[in-house]
Chains A and B, each alone.
Chain A
Amino acid sequence: MKNYDLVVVGGGPAGMAAAVAAFDAGVKNILIIERDTKLGGVLNQCVHNGFGLTRFKENLAGPEYAEKFSDEVEKRDIDVMLSTMVLEVGADKTVTAMNSEYGVFTLKPMAIILAMGCRERSKGALNIAGARSAGIYSAGTAQRYVNIEGYLPGKNVVILGSGDIGLIMARRMTLEGAKVHAVCEIMPFSSGLKRNIVQCLDDFGIPLYLNHTIVDIQGKERVTGVTIAEVNPVDKKPIKGTEIHFDCDTVLFSVGLIPENELTKNAGIPMSPRTKGAIVNQYRETDVEGIFACGNVLHVHDLVDFASEEAEIAGRSAYEYISGKLNKEKTVNLINGANIGYVLPQKITVPSGDVKVFFRVTNVFKNVTFKVKDGDEVVISKKKLTVAPGEMETIVLKSDLLSANKSGNITIELEAQND
């Protein structure tokens, strides 16, 4: 088998963008390994629009966005192996994979980019009382049934969790003739984008119950109904007497996404408990030199446009690494301060150019000030009207600010005037 300089694990939007960017930067022998029978990853089943607004200034459906990138891959001399499972990634930069053509084989590229994406949090973690009957699906599974396999998994639906896929599926199933009775969200705010609340729920009169959860699922072989109840916002325990019952045959859960990092962990790459992805510097390089990560395997993005943008950073950096140009003299740690859920990257090596930092807040706040601190000294202060955990925030740290850093740490925190 050919000797590759760069192996990209995953052929979804991040993997494709990383490979294209690496190729354009100058890496010549690139292989993308994808377990599915085609490139594009989850975008193939995301038939709704809203993709590509930042990148192409067009409002594209998921498959269109994927096709634009797979066309770019095809135009270049980039090898793609489909229906191929990566079994192991080694910290010595080996990739062991398997397919029907070659059996089990090991590659030893100069650099690796991890772009395995994410999966849905499972309902097992949810701990719902009641029957374990048929008719309970994750929103993503239902999406595959409707959009790829072409059948409607149910006629009367209750959705638990207000993640974007759940909201999108509320609309999708309504359009195909199902009745979505309720979306219930245990938090006092939705984890989905505001626009999805408007165009997926409000447009169709689907009620969103905040501070509510499912307390019981009825039905022996097939779901016949669910009971939801309001929860105490502090301890999240259901409040007696607030129960509402719905007859339904289907329950979808949409309780968030989690980076798919089995390979990363097995490689012994240090992970962040906050992002559930690898710890990286601004090049999206993990603590193992020459192994990069990007897209939803690193942290769950709101928008594919941003995942692609991040993947391009990883792709270009892989080139810099292979050609021995990644210059790292000093490391500045990025720390999430008050009211900040996570910051990415977690490290910045200087010298560096300007670095765009991504972060999420922990709660919904109004009239906030973001503060960037070098030790105790505030170096940037930026105001914003409203923030929510579902919407990624960014701040650009200028190159001179980074090289002037004294404490070795940069903390990002949020100060709320009222809440």
Chain B
Amino acid sequence: MTEKLLTCVECPRGCQITVTLDDGKVVSVVGNFCPRGKVYAENECVNPKRVVTSTMNSDIGVLVPVRTDKPVLKANIFDVMKKINATTCKTPIKLGDVIIANIDGDANLIASKTVK
């Protein structure tokens, strides 16, 4: 049995979570204030994931803020960044519009702002 100390990053409360692992399997999660913390802690031990946020060039030269609509595998963050920086999006664009579908697994890249 091993214990792992984590800080949940899902919200600013930043709960200190203790995960007990048996042979790599999560057997208990303690310290999370809400259920999202449990999901985070379990993922963090097996397959850490993060939402990626950045900006993308647009056809009118204005930067468009973008983000993934779901967390992507931490190991793939830089691949996602490469795809973002290799793309120029078309305006007008509405907040929430999908710019790159399935940028990583089932996560899409969406616009986090309306640009007219």
Contact = CB atoms under 8 A, between A and B. Distances in A.
Nearest to B112: A61
Contacts of B78: 175
Contacts of B1: none
Interface string A48-73: 11100100000111111001000000
B55 interface: yes
B98 to A, nearest CB: 14
Given A47-B55, A175-B81, A199 B50 contact: yes
Contacts of B74: 203
B55 A195 contact: no
A185 to B, nearest CB: 17
A67 B72 CA distance: 25
Contacts, number: 78
Interface string A302-317: 1100000000000000
Contacts of B11: 50, 53, 59, 195
Given A47-B55, A53-B11, A203 B65 contact: no
Nearest to A388: B14
B14 A193 contact: yes
A53 B12 contact: yes
Given A64-B95, A193-B12, A195-B8, A47 B65 contact: yes
B89 interface: no
A405 interface: no
B112 A47 contact: yes
Contacts of B18: none
Determine which residue in B10, B12, B14 has the highest number of CB atoms from chain A within 10 A of its CB, and name it: B12
B65 A61 contact: yes
B63 interface: yes
Interface in B21-56: 50-55
B10 to A, nearest CB: 8
Contacts of B113: 61, 63-64, 67
A265 interface: no
Determine which residue in B8, B54, B114 has the highest number of CB atoms from chain A within 10 A of its CB, and name it: B54
A205 B2 CA distance: 23
A47 B12 CA distance: 17
Contacts of A302: 12
B14 A195 contact: yes
A148 B115 CA distance: 13
A198 interface: yes
Nearest to A65: B112
Contacts of A60: 112
Nearest to B63: A150
Contacts of B63: 147-150
Contact of B50 (A61, A197, A203): A203
Contacts of B66: 47
B57 interface: yes
A198 B9 contact: yes
B20 interface: no
Nearest to B14: A194
A147 B65 contact: yes
A47 B57 contact: no
Contacts of A195: 7-12, 14
A49 B50 CA distance: 11
B14 A63 contact: no
Nearest to A194: B14
Given A61-B112, A148-B63, A198 B54 contact: no
A88 B112 CA distance: 35
Interface string A186-197: 000000011101
Contacts of B67: 47, 49, 61
Interface in B64-85: 65-67, 74, 77-78, 81, 85
Interface of A: 47-50, 53, 59-64, 67, 146-150, 172, 175-176, 193-195, 197-199, 203, 302-303, 386, 391
Given A59-B11, A59-B51, A147-B65, 17 more contacts: A47-B53, A47-B65, A50-B12, A60-B112, A62-B112, A63-B112, A67-B114, A147-B63, A148-B63, A175-B54, A175-B78, A194-B14, A194-B16, A198-B7, A198-B9, A198-B14, A199-B50
Interface of B: 7-12, 14, 16, 50-55, 57, 63, 65-67, 74, 77-78, 81, 85, 95, 112-114
Across the A-B interface, the 3 shortest Cβ-Cβ residue pairs: A61-B112, A194-B14, A63-B113
